Every structure is written in structure tokens, then in C-alpha cells.
């Protein structure tokens, strides 16, 4: 445990921030917890930080204590509709790195226009739960290597999940895949959340681009959701990913909010 970082942000009120574990900090005033900080390492290796305080004035105290203990680069994510949070992180040295659009995606094929979409010749779509783990993992590694060699995997939406080192596919039952011969050439991951399903990833091997594989995977996944009575799904797309933006907006997806990723280097 590191020494406390005492500071005062109000008259007769002293706030002490203490690191209580490798990834957690706690702010205490008058023997009461008034805030906390957390650090989470994502599967791509980046370290994301968050601060939760009861009073806005305590934010800088917790953030400054965390920054003193952690090595850069550090990342955080904020809702763009909350400019106060963005300003608070910028005040302690963070800068906006990228924007991620949130989309409400219709599932009705009469709205998406995907009702008649079929996989390209020689390609079949295996429903979620039918993919074999070995070829799924092989495709996942190929796709990640291709993304990393181009725009970088850090530009892709990432869920904060505890995973063993090197593990990228946590639940294979969430994946539908496009198969060509004995190989998987594309995948879509849909997490069936109670409030609204989330399309976490649509990816196609580079040598299979521009064949309609991604549209076929979307047609399948959204069709399954529609038949189960789900009207919409949710997806996030990085602002600079023009291909994904065109794909989702082309099927009637509607932008509904955005998040900002900030970094301190």
C-alpha cells in the first residue's frame, strides 16, 4: 500500500486518498468514504482508469493520486454528452484520442433491407453456438493480426472483461461464423443482454473483403433477433471506421450518443 495523498478541497475538510490494492484507490474524509478510483487492464494491454466521487471537487484529488502511482499511457472513456467529465479528465492531463458512435440497429428485414441477402457462393453461415472452437480461435487470431497491422486493435471497441492472458474468445456460443470449405472466413459476435442485444464485433478475413460476407452475417444475426421478438440491437463504431459506418447506416442504424476515449501519455 502506498502512502496516503492528503489534500484539502473545502474548509475544515481534509480528504485522504489511499491506494488499497494494485487497481483500487479510496478517498476518505471525516472517516467516511467520499470517492474511489479503479484501474482495469483490457485484453489489448491498455490500462483504463475511472474515478467515482460523491463531490466533483474531489475528482482531482483521486485522479492525481492515481496518476502518481501509475505509469503512462493511461486511458479513460467518457460519455460525450457529459462535458463536465471530459473537462475533468483534461484538467489532469488527458486528451481526446478518438470518438465512438453508438448505433441503435433495427432487426426487421423490411427496415434493414437484408431480407433477401444470401452469403456469397461457396460460403455458408453457421448459427451462434454451432462454431467449432479451433477454427473460430484461428479466425479470431487472423483477424486481430490483420487489424493490428493496419489501423491497430486499439481503434476497435473493447469490453472491459477479466480474461486470462492471450484469451480473446471468451464465449464461443455468442459467435455466428461464415464458413468456406473447411475454414472460417468471417464472424459476428452478439451478446444477448436483457435490455438490448449488443453486436460486439463483425469481422471478415482480409482476403474475403468486398464479397458481401459481412452483410450476410448481419442479415443472419439480425434476422435471428427479429424472429425472437427483439426490435433493435446496439453497436459501437469508431468514427474513423468508414467501412463499418457505411455498413450500419446502410441498413438503417441510427446514431444514438457517442463516447470519447481519452489518453494521458
Averaged pLDDT for residues 256-265: 95
Q: What is the pTM of this model?
A: 0.80
pLDDT in tens, 173-187: 899 999 999 999 999
| pLDDT computed for residue 147 by the predictor | 77
Q: What is the mean pLDDT of residues 91-101?
A: 95
Residues 211-225 have pLDDT tens digits of 999 999 999 999 999
User: Is 60 exceeded by the pLDDT of residue 256?
Assistant: yes
Compute the average pLDDT of residues 44-57: 91
| Cα-based distances in Å from 213 to 83, 161, 197, 258 | 39, 28, 21, 27
For residue 169, what pLDDT band results from cuts at 50, 70 and 90? low
How much is the average pLDDT of 32-47?
90
227 versus 9: which is more confidently predicted? 227
Amino acid at each position: 500500500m502506498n502512502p496516503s495523498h492528503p489534500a484539502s478541497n473545502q474548509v475544515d475538510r481534509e480528504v485522504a486518498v489511499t491506494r488499497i490494492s494494485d487497481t483500487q484507490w479510496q478517498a476518505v474524509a471525516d472517516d467516511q468514504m467520499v470517492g474511489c478510483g479503479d484501474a482495469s487492464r483490457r485484453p489489448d494491454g491498455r490500462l483504463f482508469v475511472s474515478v467515482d466521487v460523491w463531490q466533483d471537487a474531489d475528482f482531482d484529488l483521486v485522479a492525481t493520486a492515481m496518476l502518481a502511482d501509475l505509469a503512462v499511457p493511461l486511458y479513460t472513456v467518457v460519455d460525450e454528452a457529459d462535458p463536465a467529465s471530459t473537462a475533468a479528465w483534461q484538467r489532469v492531463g488527458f486528451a481526446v484520442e478518438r470518438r465512438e458512435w453508438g448505433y441503435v440497429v433495427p432487426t426487421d428485414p423490411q427496415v434493414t433491407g437484408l431480407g433477401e441477402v444470401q452469403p456469397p457462393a461457396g460460403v455458408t453461415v453457421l448459427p451462434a453456438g454451432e462454431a467449432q472452437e479451433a477454427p473460430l480461435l484461428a479466425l479470431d487470431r487472423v483477424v486481430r493480426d490483420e487489424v493490428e497491422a493496419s489501423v491497430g486493435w486499439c481503434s476497435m471497441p473493447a469490453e472491459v472483461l477479466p480474461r486470462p492472458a492471450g484469451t480473446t474468445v471468451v464465449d464461443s456460443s455468442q459467435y455466428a461464423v461464415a464458413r468456406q470449405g473447411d475454414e472460417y472466413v468471417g464472424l459476428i459476435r452478439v451478446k444477448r443482454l436483457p435490455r438490448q442485444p449488443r453486436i460486439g464485433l463483425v469481422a471478415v478475413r482480409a482476403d474475403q473483403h468486398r464479397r458481401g460476407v459481412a452483410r450476410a452475417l448481419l442479415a443472419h444475426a439480425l434476422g435471428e433477433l427479429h424472429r425472437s421478438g427483439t426490435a433493435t440491437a446496439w453497436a459501437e463504431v469508431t468514427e474513423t471506421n468508414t467501412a463499418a459506418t457505411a455498413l450500419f447506416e446502410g441498413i438503417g442504424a441510427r446514431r444514438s450518443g457517442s463516447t470519447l476515449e481519452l489518453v494521458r501519455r
